[in-house]
Amino acid sequence: MKQTRPIAIVNGKLITPEGVVDGTLRIAEGMIASVGPGDAQPDDEVVDAKGKLVVPGLVDLGVFAIDKPAFHFGGISRAALMPDQSPPLDLPSRVNYIAKSGKPDFWVHPLAAATRGLAGEELGEVALMREAGARGIATGRRWIADSGVMLRVLSYAAMLDMVVVAHAEDGGLAVDAVASAGEMATRLGLPSAPPQAEALAVARDIALAEMAGARIHFRQVTTAAALDLVRSAKARGVAVTAGVTPAHFMLSDLAIGDFRTFGRLSPPLRSEEDRHAVIAAIADGTIDVISSGHDPRGPEDKRLPFADAEPGMAGAETLLSTTLTLVRDGVIDLPRAFDLLAGAPARLLGVDAGLLREGHEGDIALVDPEKPWVVDRRKMAATADNTPFDGQPMQGRVLGLWKGGVRVD
């Protein structure tokens, strides 16, 4: 699928790293040709943005399933797929297959399993998987308990200049917990783990990454204590980044009060205090990435007692609109919002995307930031409807999505 004719998107508000620019964006031969003041060329296909936002296609870092209709709905043009597949992405042949699976209208960037079978014991063939298309290394849904193994993973990654995407939860403390220890877990009688399980995992892995000189990205950091550790490590120059999903800045553990399993997540929903700490960390730059954590789960996984249900949420369709709430609340501005959603994850993966910049991939979304809609799980484009935002009013919808200069939605 190649672009056959240049496109000029005119009369738009272009969201660039430098700020919001009124002007025209041109895409030719699948790449961004120009950004800013200027007119369409005579042979261009002209799209009138009518004052709406022209933004980079979102780059979703760390999803568990590729769900094209849901991603297109949410303005996502590429995603980094976690290795927790069946079978796991621990062989070059599997990585190569996945790397080609979304084309031509969606790009999948596989994350290589850090250890064979994601068992946390024997290192995977990461160099070969990198050649096959892996854009990073990931520990999967679980923390690697053996510090020696994790140090070897990080050292190997440093030699290959690949980011390690880590799960931040000490498995020895978390065990079979389904909630964060506190008043709500106690009232509901749910197995819980102290929030310090996250801080302990983050502290150890930061120390190991510092030893190895490696880049480490914590896919989700959701507690005040762990965020303080990331903030401190950044201040002393450690190559650490942190992500979060909208559930952890929009919701607290109050959302599980009715035992509804759509609120059964990993890590679990935290206290209101931690939720506010996440918002503060987004505001001050401690958190670098907002991702959907897209993990569609059917009724066989969710229509169970809370303690027996599988964690996960279908998050692709609500990623953009939930992040725009932070802009409306004055926590961040629009350029920062789209760096969290696109620019920063693209940099971590080493792809020339996620920015409105000449020479970058022509992955573009046209967004109406004020368009109201209501999340209705019965009408979702995802393969499953397990959203904790069911019934919630939202603002912000994608009006059009282009992949390499070709319209896909």
Helix (H/G/I), strand (E/B), else coil: 363: coil
Q: What is the pLDDT of residues 300-357, one digit of tens each?
A: 999 999 999 999 999 999 999 999 999 999 999 999 999 999 999 999 999 999 999 9
Q: What percent of the chain has pLDDT over 90?
A: 98
Q: Give me the domains of the chain, ranges plus CATH numbers.
A: 58-355+371-393 (3.20.20.140)
d(CA 400, CA 384): 23
Q: What are phi and psi of 376, to 5 degrees?
A: -130, 105
Q: Please give the pLDDT value at position 35.
A: 96
Q: Using an 8 Å Cβ cutoff, are 216 and 188 in contact?
A: no
Q: Please give the pLDDT value at position 386.
A: 95
Q: Please give the pLDDT value at position 39.
A: 86
Say how many C-beta atoms besides its own lie within 10 A of residue 249's C-beta.
25
Q: What is the pLDDT of residues 27-71, one digit of tens each?
A: 999 999 999 998 899 999 999 999 999 999 999 999 999 999 999
Q: Please give the pLDDT value at position 1.
A: 72
Helix (H/G/I), strand (E/B), else coil: 261: helix
Q: Using an 8 Å Cβ cutoff, are 251 and 263 in contact?
A: yes
d(CA 130, CA 132): 5
d(CA 129, CA 322): 34
- CA 334-338-340 angle, to 5 degrees, is 115
Q: Please give the pLDDT value at position 141.
A: 95
Q: Please give the pLDDT value at position 152.
A: 98
Q: Please give the pLDDT value at position 175.
A: 86
Q: Which amino acid is at 134?
A: A
What is the residue-averaged pLDDT of the chain? 97
d(CA 380, CA 192): 31
Q: Flag residues of the chain having pLDDT under 70.
A: none
Q: Please give the pLDDT value at position 38.
A: 84
